[in-house]
């Protein structure tokens, strides 16, 4: 379950823009999403004149959000932002000064851009111009790399900050000062300051980063910025030793068209097959998150082992149609059933051996479908829950707080606050009063723009359904084979809370064909982890631990 409550960063709005002439430069716009979000789009030219871009969401203090695709044709601009599963379609004005268009992330919202007039003209480079990288220790064994980009301009030194392991790029410094060998960088947006001494050879800066408390930080001159790139060694590369095909199919019940990829093993079929079901939040078919593509890795592994795999973009996300924002878990279940129906039309698939693999929220959807659909031959629950959503969220807040270095008492206090907020959402029927009360309780969680997004998420149809739905209701009716997997260090769906509840429900169903495994040292994404905290996800190179991949493949082939 990807946190929805206090993680405004998971609801970031991103996009990019272009112009029939030269659209390189900075663009400013405002997205009206409950609260105003001020956005800055940075467009530059790459090799051969190709466009590339990043986006800042200023009110959310999210900078350098990567734009994964950008095309410009006849003044029509199309952008894709994989990190937040959003798209932008706009038209560049004939004078090249504005772009009028629509941002879509679950639902369409008007978004127009104008060229920014702010500009720092470069000057003769100083001895510290360039990229500087260091590592900050956050406690609990967690380390985060930071990169400062320093540039001398006619107005003095300027700088931006990247945090590659947290997916942040281009956070502008408020002020950069230099006094002899001492350099100081103030970053008001995060309440941070770096102050250090430049070495005589100008290849290192030894100092302290202060954000709440001081932390030693040594920066080294970065000669090759490819060192910053996150390594994802499990991502498969083409050509694949199997057939892959982009397909579409309809959920006729809800008028949704799902865009998906079907991978089919080499050899003579028909083959057993699975439909992959993503976790919460708008997800693409690869379940992309922080540079990881878990479903790409999983589908590749299973297909190489003789299992056909269908994985789809969530409704209203990437290339699928529909409205994500108004859908609930029950609605997403009907999208998955449309996938089952599609597989039944494929001659390469053994229609008697179609199963489901659901991760996180997908682990709730899989038994929901299996309880009512006899076409489901088996299910795999990856970090699926066994208790209602409100219980999950309280346990999640406490577990993440402790794994992040908070004391037990502090974690319990955070959990209690979460419980108060959830109770308020469940019991207050007056929308105006609910919004007022939530603003008061969330006042210390962020700025006004972030509060608007958090409140909108807390009162959405999906969240209200998730809070009250009890997965055990469906599990008590599931009699097909079930594999239940949880990571020992999962802080989002804690195994101690959920595995006993799942076991009890399956036993009540009279199910004689289930296996429950708590996999040592794995987190919510099934990565080998130190603490299990979500802050580690991006830092870990592994996308899915081999033990989890092997367990699923071997178990499925035995069914």
Alpha helix positions (H), 350-469: 362-370, 389-403, 408-427, 431-441, 448-458, 461-468
DSSP state, 236?
Answer: -
Q: Which CATH architecture has domain 243-387+471-558?
A: 3-Layer(aba) Sandwich (3.40)
The DSSP code sequence of 181-227 is TEEEEEEGGGTEEEEEEE-TTSSEEEEEEEESEEEEEEEEEES-GGG
What are φ and ψ of residue 541, in 5° steps? Answer: -70, -35
CB 537 within 8 A of CB 289: yes
* The CATH number of the domain covering residues in 130-226: 2.40.128.120
- Give the Cα separation of 262 and 256 in Å (integer): 18
pTM of the prediction? 0.72
CA pair distance 543, 292, nearest whole angstrom:
6
Cα gap 331→334, rounded to integer Å: 5
Q: Which residues contact 7 (CB under 8 A, 6 or more apart)?
A: none
Instruction: Decide yes or no: CATH 2.40.128 for domain 8-115.
Output: yes
What are the sequence ranges of the domains in the chain?
8-115, 130-226, 243-387+471-558, 390-466
Work out whether strand 175-179 and strand 182-187 pair parallel, antiparallel, or are unpaired: antiparallel
Sign of the alpha-carbon dihedral angle for 447, 449, 454, 455: positive
pLDDT digits (tens), the chain, 559 positions:
543 332 222 222 222 222 234 688 889 999 887 678 888 898 887 666 678 888 888 777 677 788 888 888 778 888 888 777 788 888 888 767 789 999 888 678 899 999 876 666 778 899 999 999 998 886 555 678 899 999 998 888 999 898 877 666 778 888 999 999 999 999 887 778 999 999 999 999 999 999 877 899 999 998 887 777 778 999 999 999 999 999 999 999 999 999 999 999 999 989 999 999 999 988 899 998 877 999 999 999 999 999 999 999 999 888 899 888 889 999 999 999 999 999 999 999 999 999 999 999 999 999 999 999 999 999 999 999 999 999 999 999 999 888 878 899 999 998 998 999 999 888 888 888 888 888 888 776 544 555 676 787 888 889 999 999 999 999 999 999 999 999 999 999 999 999 999 999 999 999 999 999 999 999 999 999 999 988 888 889 999 999 999 999 999 999 9
User: What letter would DSSP give residue 292?
Assistant: B
Q: Could you tell me how many helices (H) and strands (E) the chain has, helices first?
A: 11, 26
Say if 8-115 and 130-226 have the same CATH topology: yes
Give the C-alpha distances (Å, rounded to integers) separating 543 from 233, 283, 453, 523.
8, 16, 29, 11
As beta bridge partners, residue 76 has 73, 91
């Amino acid at each position: 379950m990807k946190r929805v409550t206090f993680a405004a960063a998971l609801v970031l709005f991103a996009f990019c823009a272009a112009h029939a002439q030269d659209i390189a430069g900075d663009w400013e716009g405002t997205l009206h999403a409950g609260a105003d979000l001020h956005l800055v789009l940075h467009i530059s030219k790459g090799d051969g004149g190709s466009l590339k871009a990043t986006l800042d969401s200023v009110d959310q203090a999210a900078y350098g959000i990567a734009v994964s695709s950008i095309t410009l044709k006849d003044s029509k601009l199309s952008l894709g932002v994989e990190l937040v599963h959003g798209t932008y379609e706009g038209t560049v004005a004939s004078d090249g000064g504005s772009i009028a268009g629509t941002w879509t992330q679950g639902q369409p919202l008007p978004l127009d851009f104008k060229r920014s007039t702010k500009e720092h003209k470069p000057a003769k480079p100083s001895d510290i111009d360039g990229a500087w990288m260091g590592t900050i220790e956050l406690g609990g064994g967690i380390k985060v790399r930071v990169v400062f980009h320093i540039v001398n301009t006619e107005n003095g030194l300027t700088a931006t900050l990247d945090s590659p392991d947290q997916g942040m790029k281009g956070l502008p410094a408020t002020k950069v000062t230099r006094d002899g060998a001492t350099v100081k960088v103030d970053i008001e947006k995060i309440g941070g300051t770096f102050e250090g001494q430049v070495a005589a050879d100008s290849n290192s800066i030894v100092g302290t980063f202060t954000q709440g408390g001081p932390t030693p930080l040594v920066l080294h001159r970065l000669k090759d910025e490819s060192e910053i790139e996150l390594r994802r060694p499990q991502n498969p590369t083409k050509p694949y030793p199997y057939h892959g095909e982009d397909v579409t199919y309809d959920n006729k019940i809800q008028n949704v068209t799902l865009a998906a990829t079907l991978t089919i093993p080499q050899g003579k079929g028909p083959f057993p097959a699975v439909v992959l079901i993503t976790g919460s939040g708008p997800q693409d078919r690869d379940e992309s998150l922080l540079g990881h593509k878990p479903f790409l890795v999983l589908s590749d592994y299973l297909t190489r082992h003789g299992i056909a795999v269908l994985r789809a973009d969530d409704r209203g996300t990437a290339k699928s149609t529909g409205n994500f924002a108004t859908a609930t878990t029950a609605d997403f279940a009907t999208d998955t059933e449309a996938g089952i129906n599609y597989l039944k039309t494929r001659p390469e698939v053994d229609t008697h051996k179609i199963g489901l693999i659901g991760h996180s929220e997908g682990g709730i959807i899989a038994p929901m479908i299996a309880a009512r659909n006899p076409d489901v031959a088996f299910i795999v629950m990856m970090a699926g829950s066994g208790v209602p959503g409100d219980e999950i969220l309280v346990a999640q807040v406490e577990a993440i707080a402790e794994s992040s270095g908070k004391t037990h008492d502090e974690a319990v206090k955070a959990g209690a606050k979460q419980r108060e907020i959830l109770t308020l959402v469940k019991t207050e029927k007056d929308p105006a009063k609910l919004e007022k009360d939530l603003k008061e309780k969330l006042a210390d969680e962020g700025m006004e723009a972030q509060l608007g997004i958090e409140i909108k998420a807390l009162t959405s149809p999906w969240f209200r359904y998730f809070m009250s739905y009890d997965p055990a209701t469906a599990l008590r009716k599931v009699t097909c084979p079930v594999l239940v997997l949880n990571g020992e260090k999962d802080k989002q769906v804690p195994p101690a809370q959920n595995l006993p509840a799942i076991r009890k429900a399956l036993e009540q169903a009279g199910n004689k064909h289930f296996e429950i495994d708590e996999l040592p040292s794995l987190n919510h994404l099934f990565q080998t982890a130190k603490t299990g905290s979500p802050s580690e996800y991006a830092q870990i190179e592994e996308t899915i631990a081999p033990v989890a991949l092997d367990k699923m493949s071997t178990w499925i082939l035995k069914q």
